[in-house]
Amino acid sequence: MRMNGCQTLPTLLDREVVDKRYSNTVAREKEKGSGARALGGVTALVYIFLYAPIVVLVALSFNSSRFSTIWQGFTLRWYALAWADSDLISSLRTSLIVAALTALLSTALGTATAVALVRYRVRLKSAVESLILLPVILPEIIIGFAAAGFFGLLGWGFGLGTVVAAHVAFSISYVVLIVRARLSGFDRSLEDAAMDLGATPWQTFRRVTLPIILPAILSSGLLVFTISLDDYVITSFVAGPGAAT
């Protein structure tokens, strides 16, 4: 029914509702767009803050002047001198070996620990978690001093083995944190479905669980490798004469 050639009241109300919803949607999209731009700007600033010093350092390494503030021309002299230094190359090789061994051992042990804490009932679970995460909180000098005292009580001679053991002791915490976070959001129904189809526990872990948590394992291994390569304080306490890094 029409009144004076105008649309009925329900039609007008429906149009008002649609217009209001459209306006709200446009407003939300604008808010999302501004939030995304702000987040992108903050992210760009963080990356600049982190990597700008590295870029400047690399650029100045080609400066022929002995003073970093004075540019006198491009040169590869400093790199040639560095590669000619046998002590420096030996220390770099040792550091890479320690970092690689630390990453492999910490990743394996940390992943197994994270799986055990998430999937199984562990006695004194809170105490175990606190003990594992303690190295993240403690200063490195305390960890290094404690590791040196512990190895001394065991009668171990300081060397490459003690350096790797000390690095694994404080690096495993990072692996547990990262892998456990990935496992906490894991859909267990995928494993149940695989086992219902006849897969063994090992096949389920290898073909279902491992591919899903693999990014967390790789990222934690890379993080541990970087931390171990950068560490000096703990290494200085437990390194012997043949383990200069």
What is the arithmetic mean of pLDDT over 211-221? Answer: 90
Residue 217 has a pLDDT of: 92
Write the pLDDT tens digit of every residue in 133-174: 888 888 888 888 888 888 888 888 888 888 999 999 889 999
Residue 101: CB atoms within 10 Å: 19
Residue 222 has a pLDDT of: 92
Q: How far is CA 80 from CA 62, 74, 77, 230, 244, in A?
A: 11, 13, 5, 23, 22
Residue 102 has a pLDDT of: 94
Q: Look at residues 234, 227, 244, 243 and name the one whose alpha carbon lies nearest to residue 147.
A: 234
What is the arithmetic mean of pLDDT over 89-114? Answer: 91
Residue 1 has a pLDDT of: 44
Q: What percent of the chain has pLDDT over 70?
A: 83
d(CA 242, CA 199): 49
Residue 80 has a pLDDT of: 86
Residue 57 has a pLDDT of: 85
In sequence order, what are the beta bridge partners of 63?
Answer: 74
Copy the structure tokens of residue 98. 């320690």
Write the pLDDT tens digit of every residue in 23-75: 656 556 666 666 777 888 888 898 898 888 888 888 888 888 877 777 888 88
In sequence order, what are the beta bridge partners of 6?
Answer: 3
Residue 22 has a pLDDT of: 55
DSSP per-residue codes, 18-84: HHHHHHHHHHHHHHHHHHHHHHHHHHHHHHHHHHHHHHHHHHHTTBSSSSTTS---B--HHHHHHHH
> Which residues are CB-neighbours of 117 under 8 A, at least 6 positions away?
125, 128, 129, 176, 180
d(CA 43, CA 22): 31
pLDDT at 3 > cutoff 50: no
Residue 21 has a pLDDT of: 60
Q: HSE of 162 in the Cβ direction (CA atoms, 13 Å)?
A: 28
pLDDT at 115 > cutoff 80: yes
What is the arithmetic mean of pLDDT over 92-106? Answer: 92
Residue 2 has a pLDDT of: 45
What is the arithmetic mean of pLDDT over 106-120? Answer: 88
Residue 148 has a pLDDT of: 86
Local structure of residue 120 (DSSP, 8 states): S
- Across the chain, what does the average pLDDT equal? 81
Contact 240, 162 (CB under 8 A): yes
Local structure of residue 198 (DSSP, 8 states): T
Query: Which of the four pLDDT bands, split at 50, 70 and 90, describes residue 244?
Result: low
Predicted TM-score (pTM) of the model is: 0.70
Residue 64 has a pLDDT of: 84
Higher-confidence residue of 25 and 116: namely 116
